[in-house]
Amino acid sequence: MLDQLLSGNLILVVVVAAIFFVMLSSAVKIVQEYERGVVFRLGRLVGARGPGLILLIPIIERMQKVDLRVITLDVPSQEAITQDNVTVKVNAVVYFKVVDPQRAIVQVLDYIRATSLIAQTTLRSVLGQSDLDQLLSERDRINLRLQQIIDEQTDIWGIKVSAVEVRDVELPQTMQRAMARQAEAEREKRAKVIHAQGEFEASQQLAAAARVIGGQPSALQLRYLQTLTEIAAEKNSTIVFPLPVDLLAGFLDPGERVNGHTSAPGPVPV
């Protein structure tokens, strides 16, 4: 009889201890520095608490934690038609955080999923209002517009969208080939323009050199001799090159000229 009484008391103590432990664990909560605890008392919102140790009234109060850190949300690839009727697939990433934990819990069921859906619909809408060239060249402007639109729609949930970045733009194969041909044609155009500019500048320099040489006969003679030297240095072969006598007039003595005519030159030693 005594053994039965002791075992019954032991079971009662164990049950009471278990109930006390459960109530204590439900009454004592620890909230991290980057979290806030939204407390409800009998279903009514009390407010946000934390960080640190939070004491709740067992059974009467309950708490739901909210992370205040920046959340990185990947927006799946969205197929959209641009304003110039080009079908593209674009994915993006959204950076946001909770600035009002109470509204994030009370105003929306799942604020992460709701933000993701709004980002997807907004991405398709903005792409439909932009041309392909704007999507490729004005990425910053489109990112800013996406950020402003999504932030306005999520503000009532206590969510702040800090940035939206369009990552990959997938174009159809036909459009990629057309853009490649356009880029190649543009490069050929620039090459021809540069070549024409080079020819024009070279012709100007040649014209200036011709004017200088034409004004100095000795310069023409030196240029002629320099050309002979360059030709002779190329290959070991015999080159027949006409040598006008007038070019040697500057090397002859004045006594060798008779009545304005130049006598025939003698052999030039080599």
Q: What is the mean pLDDT of the chain?
A: 79
C-alpha angle 168/171/175, rounded to 5°? 150
Residues 169, 78: Cα–Cα separation, whole Å: 10
Report CA Rg, the chain. Answer: 45
Burial category of 102 from C-beta neighbours within 10 Å (exposed 0-12, middle 13-18, buried 19 and up): middle
Specify the pLDDT at position 268: 42
Specify the pLDDT at position 152: 94
Specify the pLDDT at position 104: 94
252: confidence class by pLDDT, cuts 50, 70, 90: low
Residues 53, 29: Cα–Cα separation, whole Å: 6
Residues 87, 165: Cα–Cα separation, whole Å: 20
Closest CA to 94 of 70, 74, 124: 74
105: confidence class by pLDDT, cuts 50, 70, 90: very high
Tokens of 104: 């994030």
- According to CATH, what is the number of the domain 71-171? 3.30.479.30
What count of other Cβ atoms lies within 10 Å of the Cβ of residue 105?
21
Adjacent-strand bridge partners of 78? 90
Specify the pLDDT at position 57: 86
Domains of the chain, residue spans:
26-66, 71-171, 173-235
The more confident residue out of 192 and 72 is 72
Please say whether the beta carbons of 60 and 36 come within 8 A. Answer: no
What is the DSSP-derived secondary structure letter of residue 216? -
Q: Whole-prediction pTM value? A: 0.62
What is the DSSP-derived secondary structure letter of residue 236? S
Least confident of 48-57, 105-114, 221-230: 221-230
Residues 30, 37: Cα–Cα separation, whole Å: 9
The residues near 76 (Cβ < 8 Å, ≥ 6 apart) are 91, 120
Q: Once rounded to an integer, what is the mean pLDDT over residues 78-82?
A: 85
Least confident of 5-19, 31-45, 60-74, 151-165: 5-19
C-alpha angle 61/104/44, rounded to 5°? 30
Residues 31, 66: Cα–Cα separation, whole Å: 10
Closest CA to 25 of 69, 55, 65: 55
Residue with tokens 């806030």: 36
Q: Once rounded to an integer, what is the mean pLDDT over residues 231-244?
A: 61
For 168-212, the pLDDT digits (tens) are 888 877 766 766 676 677 778 888 888 888 888 888 887 877 777
Q: Once rounded to an integer, what is the mean pLDDT over residues 86-106?
A: 92
